[in-house]
């Protein structure tokens, strides 16, 4: 084929715009953390509600637990499931798992039992760390270590609090060993586990080119630990001598978030795009006093970014972009006051440290600036691949023709373009994958869950953005017709509650509509544009409010949901509400 780039342009897109080497030797997380403990043993490492741990305290507690985990078989190339609420104990446990040399598999305690059972069966951890309250007894064959059990406390007390060496592990720990596994939505209807090595995390938070993390910072820990933004929060704080301020274990309202930031004097905070937009619309003072805000996980609104850079010209606002397979951030863009101007999209910026990116055509050739191509990622941030999925790993992690022999690159499925001055702009997806409240969702996985209802013949799921409160998943089903033609009818609400037993809450459709058939285009494909929007007002014909308090509540619900009226028996979530909208109540 014809090369569309001159030699100079080719050098610019492949070499100059990818000049991100830090020249920092790779090291394991235990080595990096222990070096920080040696520098600042008495500095505060973690604060959570009433608990405060110094670096030396945190190290000692994690060492004891790491030794106990090692006794139970945890070590390099093994997985330890962690089912705990956000807390100081969670931080101790994650640190202990990597000190033992194992990789942590975070399991969100709010997930439905079926989802948790699937993760346990698919990842096959050697051990599950949990508490008495959260211990489901459904770990199947997996042995459990119950942190708050009296015999666990006795076992920990008997162990030395000194750092572990390779002699204390089942084998030597290397920077290529996995440090954690997190699951992301799978297009086949099954989530897949992404295994991330130690070196990928080091490159994210140490002497990084996109953000400076300092020992006088307080980093907010707000993300669910099963979401890879938590990687930036946890290790960004602990490998730089900062304080990790752990938020209470629930979704904070915007008001609670403002109080949390103020109480702990948080200086660095990551927000999903949805929560960032919520804060900008509801109460900009939440961001008061912050030195740096990172937002991302979905496309940021230019107007929201402009509002923030104008209100807080001294604050650094960073748009962080990256798939889980590239370890939290692949590229980042710091917005200057007055940016973005003239209605341009917010750039996803330039590659982060030790990361190289390529915008390629279907024949894997670089495309010129201004031309949309598929985004490929290479460098030290790459995941090892998908746990127990060699076929899928080989399909998505391919040979990099622009790297050293044997080097891989990850095919993101995102469409991007370079601008003339070397910034990346997001331009969509090559497939159906969407982002909802910062989480990756494959509509195919949600469709598969809806289709498991015994009364459903066909299912389709799309994202709609035509209601207040941002993007929502909407499900459409065609009921199974029984032989006699009569049969029982199935309601959208019944199918929705069926899906809620299988999927995390961000993947449960806001509404499920029952249709006689799915609309098709002339060539027989699903006609997404012809799918009707849900009318949430239809269902609100329950009892009217009776007392002043009920009137006030109904009014607030209606306002937040963008409806004219709400009855006292109506369910906030059935009317299209979700956890992010609930932060406005």
Residue-wise pLDDT tens digits, 410-425:
999 999 999 999 999 9
Both 447 and 524 in one domain: the answer is yes
Residue-wise pLDDT tens digits, 288-338:
999 999 999 888 888 899 999 999 999 999 999 999 999 999 999 999 888
Please answer whether residues 17 and 419 qualify as being in contact, where contact means their C-beta atoms are separated by less than 8 angstroms.
Answer: no
Q: What is the pLDDT of residue 417?
A: 93
The CA distance from 261 to 390, in Å, is 43
Which residue is listed with tokens 């940016």? 339
Burial letters for 159-187: b for 16+ Cβ neighbours within 10 Å, e otherwise? eeeebbeeebbbeebebebbbbbbbbbbb
Number of other residues whose CB lies within 10 A of the CB of residue 508: 23
Please answer whether residues 411 and 318 qualify as being in contact, where contact means their C-beta atoms are separated by less than 8 angstroms.
Answer: no
In terms of pLDDT, which residue wins out, 224 or 238? 238
Percentage of the chain beyond pLDDT 90 is 68
Model confidence at 486, in pLDDT bands (50, 70, 90)?
very low
Side-chain half-sphere exposure of 81, counting CA atoms within 13 A: 33
Q: What is the CATH number of the domain that holds 569?
A: 1.10.1200.10
Number of other residues whose CB lies within 10 A of the CB of residue 416: 22
73 to 30, 118, 224: CA distances (angstroms): 18, 22, 27
Q: Which of 19-23, 262-266, 451-455, 556-560 has the lowest mean pLDDT?
A: 556-560
In terms of pLDDT, which residue wins out, 185 or 91? 91
For residue 326, the SS3 value is helix
Q: What is the pLDDT of residue 542?
A: 63
- Write the DSSP string, 70-89: HHTT--TT-EEEEE--SSHH
What contacts 538, CB < 8 A, 6 or more positions away? none
3-state secondary structure 40-58: CCCCEEEEECCEEEEHHHH
Domain tally, the chain: 2
Q: What is the pLDDT of residue 273?
A: 87
Q: What is the CATH number of the domain that holds 465?
A: 3.30.300.30
Domain assignment present for residue 502? The answer is: yes
Domain assignment present for residue 157? The answer is: no
Q: What is the pLDDT of residue 581?
A: 62
User: Could you say which DSSP state residue 432 is in?
Assistant: S
Q: What is the pLDDT of residue 341?
A: 75
Please answer whether residues 29 and 202 qualify as being in contact, where contact means their C-beta atoms are separated by less than 8 angstroms.
Answer: yes
pLDDT, the chain, mean: 90
Both 449 and 499 in one domain: the answer is yes
- The residue from 530, 556, 571 where one domain ends is 530
Model confidence at 487, in pLDDT bands (50, 70, 90)?
very low
Both 493 and 562 in one domain: the answer is no
Please answer whether residues 323 and 410 qualify as being in contact, where contact means their C-beta atoms are separated by less than 8 angstroms.
Answer: yes
Which residue is listed with tokens 């799309």? 462
The CA distance from 287 to 310, in Å, is 12
- Over range 498-507, report the average pLDDT: 92
Model confidence at 517, in pLDDT bands (50, 70, 90)?
confident
pTM of the complete model: 0.85
Domain range spanning residue 557?
548-584
Long-range own/partner contacts, residues 275-281 (CB < 8 A, 24 or more apart) = 275/437, 275/438, 275/580, 275/583, 276/300, 276/304, 277/301, 277/304, 277/470, 278/254, 278/580, 278/583, 278/584, 279/254, 280/304, 280/307, 280/308
- Over range 370-393, report the average pLDDT: 96
Both 509 and 564 in one domain: the answer is no
Domain assignment present for residue 501? The answer is: yes
Domain assignment present for residue 506? The answer is: yes
What contacts 54, CB < 8 A, 6 or more positions away? 41, 42, 43, 44, 45
Domain assignment present for residue 479? The answer is: yes
In terms of pLDDT, which residue wins out, 570 or 295? 295
Domain assignment present for residue 471? The answer is: yes
Domain assignment present for residue 140? The answer is: no
Q: What is the pLDDT of residue 215?
A: 97
Domain assignment present for residue 485? The answer is: yes
């Amino acid at each position: 084929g014809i090369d569309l780039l001159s030699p100079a342009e080719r050098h610019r897109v492949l070499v100059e715009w990818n000049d991100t080497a830090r020249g920092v030797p790779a090291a394991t997380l235990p080595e990096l953390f222990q070096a920080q403990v040696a520098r600042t043993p008495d500095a505060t490492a973690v604060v959570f509600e009433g608990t405060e741990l110094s670096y030396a305290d945190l190290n000692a507690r994690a060492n004891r637990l790491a030794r106990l985990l090692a006794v139970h078989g945890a070590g390099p190339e093994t997985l330890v499931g962690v089912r705990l609420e956000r807390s100081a104990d969670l931080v101790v446990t994650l640190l202990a798992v990597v000190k033992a040399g194992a990789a942590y598999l975070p399991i969100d305690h709010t997930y439905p039992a079926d989802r948790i059972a699937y993760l346990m069966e698919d990842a096959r951890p050697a051990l599950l760390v949990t508490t008495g309250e959260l211990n489901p007894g459904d770990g199947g064959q997996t042995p459990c270590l119950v942190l708050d059990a009296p015999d666990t406390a006795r076992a920990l007390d008997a162990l030395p609090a000194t750092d572990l060496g390779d002699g204390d592990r089942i084998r030597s720990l290397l920077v290529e060993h996995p440090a954690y596994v997190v699951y992301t939505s799978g297009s086949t209807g099954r989530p897949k586990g992404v295994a991330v090595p130690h070196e990928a995390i080091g490159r994210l938070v140490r002497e990084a080119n996109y953000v400076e993390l300092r020992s006088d910072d307080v980093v907010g820990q707000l993300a669910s630990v099963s979401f890879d933004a938590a990687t930036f929060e946890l290790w960004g704080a602990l490998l730089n001598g900062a304080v990790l301020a752990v938020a209470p274990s629930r979704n904070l309202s915007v008001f609670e978030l403002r109080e949390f930031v103020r109480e702990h004097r948080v200086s660095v905070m990551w927000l999903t795009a949805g929560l960032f937009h919520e804060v900008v619309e509801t109460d900009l003072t939440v961001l008061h006093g912050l030195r740096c805000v990172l937002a991302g996980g979905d496309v940021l609104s230019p107007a929201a970014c402009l509002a923030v850079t104008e209100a807080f010209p001294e604050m650094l606002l960073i748009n962080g972009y990256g798939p889980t397979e590239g370890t939290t951030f692949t590229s980042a863009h710091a917005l200057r006051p007055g940016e973005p101007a003239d209605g341009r999209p917010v750039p996803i910026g330039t590659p982060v440290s030790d990361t190289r990116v390529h915008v390629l055509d279907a024949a894997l050739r670089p495309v010129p600036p201004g031309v949309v191509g598929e985004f490929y990622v290479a460098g030290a941030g790459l995941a090892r691949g998908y746990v127990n999925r060699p076929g899928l790993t080989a399909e998505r992690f391919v040979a990099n023709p622009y790297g050293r022999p044997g080097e891989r690159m990850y095919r993101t499925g995102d469409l991007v373009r370079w601008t003339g001055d070397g910034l990346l702009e997001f331009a969509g997806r090559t497939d159906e994958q969407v982002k909802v409240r910062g989480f990756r969702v494959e509509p195919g996985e949600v469709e598969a869950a809806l289709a498991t209802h015994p009364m459903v013949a066909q299912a389709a799921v799309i994202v709609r953005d035509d209601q207040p409160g941002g993007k929502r998943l909407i499900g459409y089903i065609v009921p199974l017709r029984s032989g006699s033609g009569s049969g029982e009818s199935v309601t959208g609400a019944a199918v929705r509650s069926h899906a809620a037993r299988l999927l995390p809450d961000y993947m449960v459709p806001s509404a499920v509509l029952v249709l006689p058939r799915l609309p098709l285009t002339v060539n027989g494909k699903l006609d997404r544009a012809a799918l009707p929007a849900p009318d949430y007002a239809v269902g609100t014909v329950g009892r009217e409010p009776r007392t002043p308090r009920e009137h006030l509540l109904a009014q607030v619900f209606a306002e937040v949901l963008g409806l004219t009226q709400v009855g006292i028996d109506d369910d906030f979530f059935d009317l299209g509400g979700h956890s992010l909208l609930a932060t406005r109540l």
